[in-house]
Amino acid sequence: MDVNAYIESGILELYVAGQLSEQENQEIYELTQKHPEILQEVLAIETALSKLSEEVAPSTVGFDSIKRQIDDTSKVIELKPKTTNWISYTGWAASVILAIGLFWALNTKNTLQENIQTVTSEKEQLEILIEVARNDLANTKDLLNSIRAKDILAIPLGGQGDFTDTFAKVYWNKADNTIYLDAQGLPNAPEGKVWQVWSLTLNPLTPTSLGTIDDFNTDDNKIFAIANDNESQAFGITLEPKGGSEAPTMEQLYTLGVVNATP
């Protein structure tokens, strides 16, 4: 390209004055990079116009006032993120407090629910105890009524042989053929042994088994209702091997009591 003709065209003066399109500006910028003469020309035009305009300026303003203004604006800019941070910290703090609060509330709720469950099960246990006590009371009343009945025979059974410190009592209701054995004076049956109750006739001496007391050790009041339709003249209690025996083992006869004549 003819660089001189390009320079002479006057386009560079328009370039410095800012009169050209973006595309033209781009082209001239590239030419200034390629052709130093063009760049030199641009600089000369720029310097001339710049010097001319300086003469029009009414005064000179130092950079200090500019510096103050951009310091002020940069301070304002710096303050913004600080404010944002403060808000964001507050936000984080609030969410942490909220999280702790929620956790605490949930924990308290769980504890309270556990308490309610505990109280509920305690209540159920108490209800069961009350029921048991009522049943006991009813049973005891029945027992007392049975023993107090008019035609009851009371037969004390005394300790025999080596077992003189043991005792028992039999309450015999002939009307309904039931004896009530109060065996509180007997020890618990040892492992593998069981108490067996006998009805006896004396002449000749004939024992009849009334059965074994299998639940002796676990029974609370040690009073046992036993069916008896024999014409018993005496009652005895022996300790027998588990399952009971056909005939009483006389060495293990703990208590014995004779039925007195009708009172």
Partner 1 sequence: MADLDTLVKRFQQKDIDAFEKLYNMYSKSIHGVVYNIVRDAAISDELMQDVFIKAWNNADSYSSSKGRFFTWILNIARNAAIDKTRSKTFKQSKQNLNTDFFVDIIAGNDNFEEKTDAIGIKKYVNQLGEKCKTIIEFLYFKGFTQKETAETLAIPVGTIKTRNRNCIQKLRDMVL
21 is a contact residue toward partner 1 (CB under 8 A): no
Q: From the CB of 56, what's the least distance to partner 1, in Å? A: 3
18 is a contact residue toward partner 1 (CB under 8 A): yes
5 is a contact residue toward partner 1 (CB under 8 A): no
Q: What residues contact 187, with CB distance under 8 A and at least 6 apart?
A: 166
CB atoms within 10 A of CB 166: 17
65 is a contact residue toward partner 1 (CB under 8 A): yes
37 is a contact residue toward partner 1 (CB under 8 A): no
Residues in the chain: 263
Q: Which of 1, 2, 5, 58 is close enough to bind partner 1 by CB under 8 A?
A: 58
Q: Which of 2, 55, 165, 246 is close enough to bind partner 1 by CB under 8 A?
A: 55
Among 147, 158, 168, 160, which residue's Cα sits nearest to residue 210? 168
C-alpha to C-alpha distance for 146 and 99, rounded to whole angstroms: 70
Six token digits for residue 13:
């003066």
Q: What residues contact 170, with CB distance under 8 A and at least 6 apart?
A: 153, 154, 155, 157, 179, 180, 181, 182, 235, 257
Binding residues among 70-109 for partner 1 as defined by CB under 8 A? 70, 73
Q: Which of 3, 35, 46, 216 is close enough to bind partner 1 by CB under 8 A?
A: 46
Backbone φ, ψ for residue 86 (5° rounding): -60, -45
52 is a contact residue toward partner 1 (CB under 8 A): yes
13 is a contact residue toward partner 1 (CB under 8 A): yes
Strand partners, 227: 178
14 is a contact residue toward partner 1 (CB under 8 A): yes
Q: From the CB of 57, what's the least distance to partner 1, in Å? A: 4
Please give the residue ranges that form the binding site for partner 1 (CB under 8 A).
8-11, 13-20, 22, 25-26, 29-30, 39, 42-61, 63, 65-67, 69-70, 73
